[in-house]
């Protein structure tokens, strides 16, 4: 690890707290009780957490009442990798059903892995998890500057599952023409890189899983915006609501994904130059009318029905229309002539 300013802490979550674990990941937040946050050196550890640091959440390990070092070869049934996005803050609002957990930290949940062995994390990280388990889930610093590099390497080089191996084969000679049913849309992918490498690696794995789940290995895919059927490498599995503004649940909701081609549709939508109306019709936004050439390109899509717009995806398109495709009020142009007609 080159950046020793990045800290990594371990937090153990016991089996009875599974529901709280799921809620925390879904809401991109974690919290501790006051008595846990006030013990020993935990106040110092929490105060030192800063954006860019990592928290590794270990869930369902072995008995923690064992001597130091006895977890070196243990297995964690689940491991969540999260990056801190802000400082620790007090909050009494209701998030978890059983208690308040008012000492909180905001997170970006990068990945969720199953059956992570001690060798993947190293003895220091596993000892930190054992200590955390004996401290009611308090954050314990991982005394190993290479823990994230080791974890990323182990994930990248682990044997591929049958599904992953199949995904690496040449694409099948079939086409994907969008969701076949509401039931297919209303699903969530069970997602189970500063160290820029870590962020990139986890984001890439998430994208590969989402793409595989959404398009099922199709060799050609129809763009939901322009309607052209293209080779799969020219079509992205694009988030309707910006990924950076999604919690884990929203990122993995298949209704928040659409097929957007790299021949212009992906960039036009991503940057808000076009939007989708509440009725599912592609429109040109104020941003799309910023120049004559841009307007000409954007208008080629105007009036088309976006095939990804469904009752399940409508909330994500609403967010895009009111955020990505919206100008700040002070910047709203007073358009006249042909440009005004497209809005």
Mean pLDDT of the residues in the chain: 85
Residue 328 pLDDT grade (very low, low, confident, very high; cuts 50, 70, 90): low
Average pLDDT over residues 298-303: 96
Please report, rounded to a whole number, the percentage of residues in the chain having pLDDT higher than 90: 68
Residue 342 pLDDT grade (very low, low, confident, very high; cuts 50, 70, 90): very low
Instruction: Kindly report, residue by residue over 57-111, the tens digit of the pLDDT.
Output: 999 999 999 999 999 999 999 999 999 999 999 999 999 999 999 999 999 998 8
Q: How far apart are CA 150 and CA 144, in angstroms?
A: 10
- pLDDT at position 192 is 45
Residue 248 pLDDT grade (very low, low, confident, very high; cuts 50, 70, 90): confident
* Residue reference for tokens 């996005």: 85
Domain limits, CATH 3.10.590, in the chain? 8-156
Closest CA to 327 of 273, 265, 268, 282: 273
pTM of the full predicted structure?
0.66
- Domain 8-156: state its class: alpha beta
Neighbours of 149 (CB within 10 A): 15
Q: Quick check: 195 pLDDT over 70? A: no
Alpha-carbon distance values, 343 to 208, 210, 296, 316 (Å)? 36, 33, 14, 20
Q: Quick check: 316 pLDDT over 80? A: yes
Instruction: Kindly report, residue by residue over 23-34, the tens digit of the pLDDT.
Output: 999 899 999 999
- pLDDT at position 25 is 92
Instruction: Kindly report, residue by residue over 220-237, the tens digit of the pLDDT.
Output: 999 999 999 999 999 999
Neighbours of 326 (CB within 10 A): 16
Alpha-carbon distance values, 324 to 186, 255, 260, 319, 329 (Å)? 23, 18, 16, 8, 13
Q: How far apart are CA 220 and CA 233, in angstroms?
A: 8
Could you tell me if 141 and 46 are in contact, meaning their C-beta atoms sit under 8 angstroms apart?
Answer: no
Residue 269 pLDDT grade (very low, low, confident, very high; cuts 50, 70, 90): very high
- pLDDT at position 343 is 34
- pLDDT at position 129 is 98
Q: How far apart are CA 259 and CA 252, in angstroms?
A: 15
């Amino acid at each position: 690890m080159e950046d020793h300013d990045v800290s990594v802490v371990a937090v153990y979550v016991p089996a009875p707290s599974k529901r709280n674990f799921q809620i925390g990941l879904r809401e991109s937040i974690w919290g501790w009780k006051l008595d846990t946050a006030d013990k020993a050196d935990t106040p110092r550890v929490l105060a030192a957490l800063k954006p860019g640091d990592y928290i590794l959440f270990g869930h369902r390990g072995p008995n923690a009442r064992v001597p130091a070092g006895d977890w070196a070869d243990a297995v964690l049934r689940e491991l969540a990798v999260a990056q801190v996005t802000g400082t620790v803050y007090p909050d009494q609002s209701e998030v978890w059903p059983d208690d308040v957990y008012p000492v909180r930290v905001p997170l970006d949940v990068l990945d969720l892995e199953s059956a992570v062995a001690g060798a993947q994390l190293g003895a220091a990280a596993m000892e930190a998890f054992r200590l955390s388990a004996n401290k009611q889930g308090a954050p314990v610093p991982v005394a190993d500057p290479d823990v994230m590099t080791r974890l990323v390497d182990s994930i990248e080089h682990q044997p591929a599952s049958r599904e992953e191996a199949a995904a690496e084969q040449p694409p099948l000679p079939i086409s994907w023409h969008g969701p076949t049913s509401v039931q297919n849309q209303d699903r969530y992918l069970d997602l189970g890189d500063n160290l820029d490498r870590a962020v990139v690696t986890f984001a890439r794995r998430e994208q590969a899983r989402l793409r595989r789940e959404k398009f099922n290995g199709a060799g050609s895919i129809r763009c939901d915006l322009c309607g052209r059927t293209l080779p799969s490498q020219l079509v992205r599995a694009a988030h309707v609501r910006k990924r950076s503004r999604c919690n884990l649940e929203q990122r993995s909701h298949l209704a928040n994904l659409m097929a957007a081609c790299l021949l212009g549709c992906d960039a036009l939508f991503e940057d808000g130059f076009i939007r989708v109306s509440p009725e599912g019709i592609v429109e040109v936004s104020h941003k799309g009318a910023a120049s004559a050439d841009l307007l000409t390109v954007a208008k080629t899509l105007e009036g088309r029905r976006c095939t990804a717009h469904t009752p399940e995806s409508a909330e994500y398109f609403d967010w895009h229309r009111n955020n990505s495709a919206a100008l700040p009020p002070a910047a709203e142009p007073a358009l006249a002539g042909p440009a005004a007609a497209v809005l």
